[in-house]
Structure 1
Amino acid sequence: MDKMKLKLLYSDLKSDLDIIEKELAAAVNSSSHLLNEASLHLLLAGGKRIRPVFVLLSARFGTYSMETIKNVAVPVELIHMASLVHDDVIDDADTRRGRKTVKAQVNNRVAMHTGDFLFARAIEYITGLKNTYAHQVLSHTMVELCIGEIIQIEDKHELDQTVRDYLRRIKRKTAILISASCELGAIASGADAKTVKHLKRFGYYIGMSFQIIDDILDIVSTDEQLGKPSGSDLLQGNITLPVLYVKDYPTIAPLLKEMLEGNISEEHKNKLLIEIRNSDGIKKAKQISNLYLQKALNEVKQLPPNSAKKSLQNIALFMSKRKF
């Protein structure tokens, strides 16, 4: 995703996002030099800060106060960061966004403890918000996120799974945290219950669309565009939606089986990726992503009128139509 183009869509939030960035830097600070090094490496890797953006925009539907809202925007990003660190250990990934991962920079043990530290900081941070229901939403989200990671491990190399299995998995892996970001932003600002419900649903639908596009891009993009090797999901044994649609095709099934059995030469991988790109699996996956996008846009239509409404719509369209 082109971060510069995306940032233009929420340029009016720059001063508030600068505050969040400073708060994140303070949140990852500790008395351990090694932990600081690992956390700061992750923080400096940047990222789109989509989850804090959704918190800030959703908070515009209530009484907007940065002193309150930061207690939600910071923890959702910390949870996202923690999940990335754990993901990279599980997937044995050396690069992310074109930079070394924490586990590659330090080692697996430090990376896992860094992720745990960020989770703990997130819990600590949200206690600054006195609304106990918000605490429940965040803790439930963390539980579901962890379950999603375990299910992904269980499903690795497993061809006998359905589209429903995949959708349930990405709900936990991605959509639930984006949904919680929108819901928590609205709750923290005191938005009415109907608005909170629409924002929660918007976050879920756009999260689903976003992850499906991510899984498509893993197959169709170049290494340079992704900042990591193309086809990484397949190499790690993760069966994503475009692959599920074509896994039984005669030209794909034998190649896929060989790859999942460990025959993963560069030539073999590229041949499989070309076959998937030339199949209708990409088109079918895009159709499902678009269905979720339309559902997200329908939720936006039902929100009260304000400037944040248009921003949510534009960001949703950008996220779900991106090329890399």
Structure 2
Amino acid sequence: MSNGAELRQNTGDSAIGTRVDLGDASLNEQLYAGMNRVELVLRDELNKGADFLTEKVMHLTKAGGKRFRPMFALLASNYGPNPMSDEVVKAAVIVEMTHLATLYHDDVMDEATQRRGVESANARWSNSVAILAGDILLAHASRIMSELGVATVAHFADTFGDLVTGQMRETIGAGDGDPIEHYMKVIEEKTGVLIASAGYLGAMHSGADEDTIQALSRTGAAIGMVFQIVDDIIDIFSDSDQSGKTPGTDLREGVFTLPVLYALAEDSAVGEQLRGLLTGPLHSDDEVAAALSLLAQSQGRARALADVHHYLAVVDENLATLPDNATTKALRMLAQYTVSRVG
């Protein structure tokens, strides 16, 4: 690989570790071995308990995923004297379990019918089953946290608090506040915080010093913001052949993401037309097409992309404090890869 990271999604029962190309053969193999260990521990832990529980909690695990959060934890551990130790692997598993739990809960709140290319748990069984599956994932994660010590439990108490705050903030809405500031805070709490936690715990459990731990936590938070804003841009401005998604999906659901919020705030004819059109979910293909056309004429994409580059600068600022080695280059590459998806 010469010009960017490549992430391959894990799918199916036979998939084990996520394989990535980070531009360094030795690091690729080290990370692949680590991700194998993460996957084996994850599946072993989630297979504990009654059969009627394990079937549900393994549903999304078997469906796959890129496992970016545990991958980031493993990479962060390369800055300490005990990279990819057993404790680091457990920390990576905790982060992924927590992420999976939020997916079960989000699908209930969003009334989603699909997740990772399979039927969502709430659609396959019921909302109650999906909520309880998320809860048992958090129970598994809590048990492993207790094995890693009080510092890990305390850190994750803060992380849980931020995740729930973000979900509650999104549910209540911006009210009389600035919708753009509100949205940025929501994605910081719902997306950024868990990737930040992956960096924090991976570095901490490898024995890294405090400055390094904090730098990796800030890097993870910024990468999380980049991920979410890029997804927002792709939903509106990419064709389905490129993204694999139907453009305007969020608009159909009445979800107004960052580029849309910027466009709605415009003091222009386009902004005025959008404010008249986007008063709730869009129900017809013609309405969606009209909204997408207006958004393409707006400054929404450019302003959202400017925010992406702001957070990329935060990533670079923090990575500049770390050793200039293959892992640092890989982290920088992963952030740039995310932006390249915009086209």
Equivalent runs, 1:1-324 vs 2, <5 Å: 3-4=7-8, 7-9=20-22, 11-12=28-29, 13-62=31-80, 63-130=82-149, 132-155=150-173, 161-223=178-240, 229-248=246-265, 249-251=268-270, 253-254=272-273, 258-323=277-342
Deviation digits for residues 172-220 of structure 1, max 9, x if unmatched? 0100111111011111111011111111111111111111111111212
Q: Residues 262 and 213 of structure 1: is their aligned pair in 2 closer, same or farther, counting only changes over 3 Å?
A: closer
Distance 1:253 1:322 in 2: 30
Q: Residues 237 and 153 of structure 1: is their aligned pair in 2 closer, same or farther, counting only changes over 3 Å?
A: farther
- Return the TM-score normalized by structure 2: 0.86
1:4 counterpart letter in structure 2: R
Using the TM superposition, name which of 187-196 and 92-101 deviates more: 92-101
Q: Residues 21 and 161 of structure 1: is their aligned pair in 2 closer, same or farther, counting only changes over 3 Å?
A: same
5+ residue gaps, structure 2: 10-18
Deviation digits for residues 140-195 of structure 1, max 9, x if unmatched? 11111011111111128x69633221211111010011111101111111101111
Using the TM superposition, name which of 144-153 and 248-257 deviates more: 248-257
Checking the alignment, whether the CA contact within 8 Å between 1:202 and 1:300 is kept in structure 2 is yes
Q: Residues 225 and 149 of structure 1: is their aligned pair in 2 closer, same or farther, counting only changes over 3 Å?
A: farther
5+ residue gaps, structure 1: none
2:8 aligns to what SS in structure 1?
Answer: helix
Instruction: Report deviation, 1:81.
Output: 0.8
Using the TM superposition, name which of 275-284 and 230-239 deviates more: 230-239
1:41 counterpart letter in structure 2: H
Checking the alignment, whether the CA contact within 8 Å between 2:222 and 2:314 is kept in structure 1 is yes
Instruction: Report deviation, 1:308.
Output: 1.6
1:190 aligns to what SS in structure 2?
Answer: coil
Q: Residues 298 and 108 of structure 1: is their aligned pair in 2 closer, same or farther, counting only changes over 3 Å?
A: same
2:66 aligns to what SS in structure 1?
Answer: coil
Q: Residues 312 and 70 of structure 1: is their aligned pair in 2 closer, same or farther, counting only changes over 3 Å?
A: same
Using the TM superposition, name which of 2-11 and 87-96 deviates more: 2-11
Distance 1:222 1:262 in 2: 20
Q: Residues 58 and 33 of structure 1: is their aligned pair in 2 closer, same or farther, counting only changes over 3 Å?
A: same
What is the alpha-carbon root mean square deviation over aligned residues? 2.4
Q: Residues 225 and 92 of structure 1: is their aligned pair in 2 closer, same or farther, counting only changes over 3 Å?
A: farther
Distance 2:147 2:169 in 1: 32
Using the TM superposition, name which of 3-12 and 167-176 deviates more: 3-12
Q: Residues 262 and 174 of structure 1: is their aligned pair in 2 closer, same or farther, counting only changes over 3 Å?
A: closer
Distance 2:104 2:243 in 1: 17
Distance 1:67 1:103 in 2: 34
1:275 counterpart letter in structure 2: L
1:7 counterpart letter in structure 2: V
Distance 2:239 2:140 in 1: 35
Distance 2:133 2:253 in 1: 23
Checking the alignment, whether the CA contact within 8 Å between 2:252 and 2:282 is kept in structure 1 is no
2:146 counterpart letter in structure 1: T
Which structure 1 residue ranges, 4+ long, deviate > 4 Å from structure 2?
222-229, 252-259
2:204 counterpart letter in structure 1: I
Checking the alignment, whether the CA contact within 8 Å between 1:95 and 1:228 is kept in structure 2 is no
Instruction: Report deviation, 1:34.
Output: 3.3
Counting matched residue pairs gives: 322
Instruction: Report deviation, 1:221.
Output: 3.2
2:322 counterpart letter in structure 1: L
Distance 2:178 2:334 in 1: 32
- Return the TM-score normalized by structure 1: 0.90
Q: Residues 224 and 102 of structure 1: is their aligned pair in 2 closer, same or farther, counting only changes over 3 Å?
A: farther
Deviation digits for residues 5-47 of structure 1, max 9, x if unmatched? 9821263311110111111112222433333222222012211
Deviation digits for residues 260-287 of structure 1, max 9, x if unmatched? 4455222212321232133220111011
Instruction: Report deviation, 1:76.
Output: 0.3
